[in-house]
Structure 1
Amino acid sequence: MAYFRVLSAQLAQLQALLVREESWAILITADPDALASAMALQRIIRSKVKSVTIARTNEITRPDNLAMIRYLNIPVVKWRPSMKKKIQRFALVDSQAHHNPAFAGLEFSVVIDHHPKTDDPCSAPFQDIRPDYGSVSTMMTEYLYSAGIRPARLLATALQYGIRTDTATFGRGCTDVDLRAYHYLSRFGDATLMNRILRSEYMPEWLPYFSRAFETLRPCGRGSYVWLGKVDSSDILVVVADFFLKVHGLRWVAVCGVSAGRVIVVFRGGYGKMDLGAVASCVFPGIGGGGGHKTMARAEAALVDVPVEARSGLEEYVFQLIYTAAEKRRRQQAASHGEKKAAPEESGTEEARRRTAKAAGEKKSAQTKGAAEDAVPLPEAPAEPLESDVQA
């Protein structure tokens, strides 16, 4: 079996689009996988065209992403519509045209992605979309390998980090080819730089948000709900949600808040059957949108589109929407597996309190009786940090 895919035909198709007199822009919603993938594509095409610019459509505020750009010298600039007149060709990596309003009106020549395909795909002449891959960084490693390009130290480290973050250090959506790509890149990457990036997880000013998260954490059906209120950036929601992935016993968590006039929900799941992407798509019916993978997803809506009467109790309003969407999805999954249809549960805060009180009573009773089945908590095993995408 070949170490990687043989991409001779794809590379020939890509090379056919390259014209010496043309300038290219690689657009990304900046996160580690997108940044690394854009670096790799730039390396492949830069000698065949006039210039290649990596342009981000989002603000970068997460410390790990800022550290990645700084330590790996990634030449990324902020995308401005005025740049369009100087660019002849556009490429898109780790995303698709419908993922971001900033991509509207642009005609892409290249789209390389690993997210699920849409029913309304773009008309790019070169497209490579592989939802079965854990990261686009893995795909770009294959392209470099097939092109006979040995990745330099900084590029190899970037691709390694891109693979780590999008597979949650090989714990989410990871395949054999992701592992092979990471192993191959380890020959050329810089472990010291990787560790410096991995240790750049939190900003000091974010710590109060964690305190608020612990105070507002409560059950939401079979998952958990956190309300952070107004936040400076939606990246904070992502960081807090990723933190809760490390908490034993949480099936999934929805971390919610308001940023830049939008109500945003970031979903993360460590285990269980719940498809969080499907839940996210149903949270804001008629006023917003959402989607994502089974274990990580996002939903959002403009605050002005939230019913006026709900704005004074926004925390509870969003809780009810998430609870309803999650329970609906749970029953759909149960029905699709031929399981007995679950009886309707009480909804909202009272249901959460009832479940919590019942669990506490059962635990106290079991402790009093000295029941043998009461499990002794195991010591936590040291875990490497989990990084995720910055979401636009």
Structure 2
Amino acid sequence: MAYFRNLGSRLKEMLELFKKDQRLLILINADPDALASAMALKRILYRKVQTVAIAHVNDISRPDNLAMIKLLRIPLFKLTPPLAAQYDRFALVDSQPHHHPDFEKHQFSVILDHHPLPKDKPAQADYLEINPDYGATSSLLTEYLYNLNIRPGKLLATALVYGIKTDTQSFERKFNDVDVRAFRYLTKFYNPLLLQKIVRSEFRKEWIKYFSLAFRKIKLLGHGSSIFMGKVESPDILVILADFFSRVHNISWGMVSGIHEDSLVVIFRGDGLRKDMGKMASQMFGDLGPAGGHKQMARAEIPLDKIDRQHAQQFILQRLAELNARKRTRGKQSAGNGFPISGDKESAERKTLP
């Protein structure tokens, strides 16, 4: 059995898309998996085009991301119209066009991702691989490097290891054999001390106040929770808090929300058992802006001009109530047809037990 898939013909197809006089810009919503994947794609294509660069659409403030960029020497630009105008080809990694309004403005030569592919928003590119079975896009790019006989340097290998580690939550979230093999392969080349320094850069001192505020604002909703933080200096604070409160015993899902600039940002976390966070985000807010993700983690961003800013917390809870009401209605209809009253797989299985 081969260590990885044989991608010879597929990779040839991708490489033949580019010419030496072209300028390529790789777009990302910067997080560890996206940063590592962009580094890998840049390594693959830098000799195929005149120049290749990486641009991010989000503000980067999480300490681990900043440490990763600094220690692994990742050159980055903030995406702006003047910057984009300097390039004639575009690639997207660890995201899909519908994930961010700035992505939707571009036509992509390459899209590589591992997030779920919604049927109503299909991604389009000259070369496309979206594989939701993978725990991290970094694993996919490791396959590409391996097939091209490109040995990752110490900094790139460390980035890819961290990308896999974060998106699989050290193999506690969804992963498959490819993620394990990629991780094992990369550890031959990475720098464990650099990785350790990045992993330990999690919080800023000035963020401590948000933890105190979150404890006062948390609303318990059965096995779930909701925290509205008001105005925050960065959406990354919401992510940190959502990850923290997902560890509370007997809370299987939660939302942490806040207002940043012109958007209401909602971060979803769950155990993947009772609720699918990606579906929940899409069903609650998909009609208003980018919303979706995985079973255990998701995100929604709603422009403030589409809601009443003064009642943002009530708006979130109202949307949750409406979603639950729709599910109860469907459950009653299913029960009338002789099906289990819950769409929950676990409930259905309980009803069939002797």
- With normalisation by structure 2, the TM-score equals 0.89
Residue type at the aligned position of 2:99? H
Could you say which residue in structure 1 is the equivalent of 2:315?
317
Task: State the Cα distance separating 1:88 from its structure 2 match.
Answer: 2.0
Task: State the Cα distance separating 1:76 from its structure 2 match.
Answer: 1.3
Residue type at the aligned position of 1:35? L
Structure 1 pair 186–317 and aligned structure 2 pair: CA distance change class (3 A): same
Could you say which residue in structure 2 is the equivalent of 1:85?
85
**Which structure ranks higher in relative contact order (CA pairs < 8 Å, sequence separation ≥ 6)?**
1
Residue aligned with 1:109, SS: strand
Could you say which residue in structure 1 is the equivalent of 2:199?
198
Task: State the Cα distance separating 1:231 from its structure 2 match.
Answer: 0.9
Could you say which residue in structure 2 is the equivalent of 1:8?
8
For each residue in 1:163-206, what CA deviation from the matched residue of structure 2 results, as whole angstroms up to 9, or x when unmatched? 11111111111111101100110110011011101111111111
For each residue in 1:310-339, what CA deviation from the matched residue of structure 2 results, as whole angstroms up to 9, or x when unmatched? x54433332232244256457758959943
For each residue in 1:41-100, what CA deviation from the matched residue of structure 2 results, as whole angstroms up to 9, or x when unmatched? 111111222111111111111111000001100111112211233212111111112221
Q: Does 1:162 align with 2:160?
A: no
Task: State the Cα distance separating 1:122 from its structure 2 match.
Answer: 4.1
Q: Does 1:115 align with 2:148?
A: no
Could you say which residue in structure 1 is the equivalent of 2:22?
22
Could you say which residue in structure 2 is the equivalent of 1:136?
137
Task: State the Cα distance separating 1:145 from its structure 2 match.
Answer: 0.3
Could you say which residue in structure 1 is the equivalent of 2:348?
none
Structure 1 pair 329–290 and aligned structure 2 pair: CA distance change class (3 A): farther
**Cα distance in 1 between the residues matched to 2:82 and 2:211:** 39
Query: Identical aligned pairs, as a percentage?
Result: 47
**Cα distance in 2 between the residues matched to 1:327 and 1:185:** 47
**Cα distance in 1 between the residues matched to 2:40 and 2:287:** 39
Structure 1 pair 110–285 and aligned structure 2 pair: CA distance change class (3 A): closer
Residue aligned with 1:249, SS: coil
**Cα distance in 2 between the residues matched to 1:261 and 1:73:** 31
Structure 1 pair 225–174 and aligned structure 2 pair: CA distance change class (3 A): same
Q: Does 1:55 align with 2:58?
A: no
Residue type at the aligned position of 2:173? R
Residue type at the aligned position of 1:209? Y
**Cα distance in 1 between the residues matched to 2:342 and 2:146:** 50
Does the 8 Å contact 1:287/1:306 carry over to 2? Answer: no
**Cα distance in 2 between the residues matched to 1:288 and 1:56:** 19
* Structure 1 unpaired stretches of 5+: 343-392
Does the 8 Å contact 1:94/1:113 carry over to 2? Answer: yes
Does the 8 Å contact 2:331/2:342 carry over to 1? Answer: no
1:322-337 map, 5 Å = 322-326=320-324, 328-329=326-327
Task: State the Cα distance separating 1:285 from its structure 2 match.
Answer: 7.0
Task: State the Cα distance separating 1:289 from its structure 2 match.
Answer: 4.8
Residue type at the aligned position of 2:42? Q
**Cα distance in 1 between the residues matched to 2:222 and 2:136:** 31
Does the 8 Å contact 1:221/1:327 carry over to 2? Answer: no
**Cα distance in 2 between the residues matched to 1:287 and 1:323:** 17
* Structure 2 unpaired stretches of 5+: 344-354
Structure 1 pair 105–316 and aligned structure 2 pair: CA distance change class (3 A): closer
- Bigger shift: 312-321 or 90-99? 312-321
Residue aligned with 2:166, SS: helix
Structure 1 pair 326–161 and aligned structure 2 pair: CA distance change class (3 A): farther
Q: Does 1:215 align with 2:200?
A: no
Residue type at the aligned position of 1:281? S
Does the 8 Å contact 1:28/1:57 carry over to 2? Answer: yes
For each residue in 1:229-251, what CA deviation from the matched residue of structure 2 results, as whole angstroms up to 9, or x when unmatched? 11111111111001112222210
Could you say which residue in structure 2 is the equivalent of 1:348?
none
Does the 8 Å contact 2:59/2:234 carry over to 1? Answer: no
Which structure has the greater CA radius of gyration?
1
Structure 1 pair 282–189 and aligned structure 2 pair: CA distance change class (3 A): same
Does the 8 Å contact 2:100/2:290 carry over to 1? Answer: no
Does the 8 Å contact 1:279/1:326 carry over to 2? Answer: no
Structure 1 pair 84–228 and aligned structure 2 pair: CA distance change class (3 A): closer
For each residue in 1:240-283, what CA deviation from the matched residue of structure 2 results, as whole angstroms up to 9, or x when unmatched? 00111222221011112111132221110125221111211232
Could you say which residue in structure 2 is the equivalent of 1:151?
152
**Cα distance in 1 between the residues matched to 2:342 and 2:55:** 49
Q: How many residues align?
A: 339
Structure 1 pair 159–327 and aligned structure 2 pair: CA distance change class (3 A): farther
Does the 8 Å contact 1:331/1:341 carry over to 2? Answer: no
1:330-345 map, 5 Å = 338-340=339-341
**Cα distance in 1 between the residues matched to 2:61 and 2:215:** 23
Could you say which residue in structure 2 is the equivalent of 1:380?
none
**Cα distance in 2 between the residues matched to 1:331 and 1:223:** 21
Residue aligned with 1:36, SS: helix
Q: What is the alpha-carbon root mean square deviation over aligned residues?
A: 2.2
Could you say which residue in structure 2 is the equivalent of 1:73?
73
**Cα distance in 2 between the residues matched to 1:268 and 1:282:** 15
Structure 1 pair 340–30 and aligned structure 2 pair: CA distance change class (3 A): same
Structure 1 pair 284–129 and aligned structure 2 pair: CA distance change class (3 A): closer
Residue type at the aligned position of 1:300? E
